[in-house]
Amino acid sequence: MKTIMCVFIILVTSSCLAQNLEPEGPYSVTTMRNFLDFPESLSTGFAEKRINRLGDGASIALMKILSSDQLRDPVIEDRILTLLNMAFQAPAIVRPEDRHPKVTLLLLSYLALSKPEEARLARINSLQLQLRQLDSQLTKQEQVK
């Protein structure tokens, strides 16, 4: 019984801490740094929820955190692509100023020019295409309003 109670208290406490949505600045640098350090296989719904709200702010945070050498590291580059994909999964919940992937497309262009291996380049190109289509859709929706 004591074990169950301890586990319950730990889960409730970690859940409350994970859902702390206090503003940490416009670019969520702390969130992105924590997510980069967190093993990808152990990602949580709470972390994903925060990343999904960032949109273009995710790229700004990544550029503030990572050096140009780190941006060319294959392991980090794979993580970046995953994070950028997550950041635009739900554009409706992203702040309006971060819905359009302008900085993200610039970052992806930089990554493509860094001569990644073929599979990673294909992944970069696919994400660029996806984000350009999203940008076009958002622009059309805004023109209708």
Q: Which domain holds residue 117?
A: 25-144
Token output for 33: 């740094």
Asked whether residue 138 is domain-assigned, the answer is: yes
Q: Which tops the pLDDT comparison, 25 or 97?
A: 97
Asked whether residue 9 is domain-assigned, the answer is: no
Residue 119 pLDDT: 94
Asked whether residue 135 is domain-assigned, the answer is: yes
Residues 6+ positions from 130 with CB-CB distance below 8 Å? 85, 88
Q: What is the mean pLDDT of the chain?
A: 83
Number of domains in the chain: 1
Asked whether residue 33 is domain-assigned, the answer is: yes
pLDDT digits (tens, 9 = 90+) for 66-114: 999 999 899 999 999 999 999 999 999 999 999 999 999 999 999 999 8
56 vs 101: CA distance, rounded Å: 5
Asked whether residue 72 is domain-assigned, the answer is: yes
Asked whether residue 69 is domain-assigned, the answer is: yes
Residues 6+ positions from 84 with CB-CB distance below 8 Å? 58, 59, 62, 104, 107, 108, 127
Residue 5 pLDDT: 56
H/E element, 77: helix 74-87
Token output for 101: 């992937």
pTM: 0.78
Asked whether residue 118 is domain-assigned, the answer is: yes
Span 33-58, average pLDDT: 80
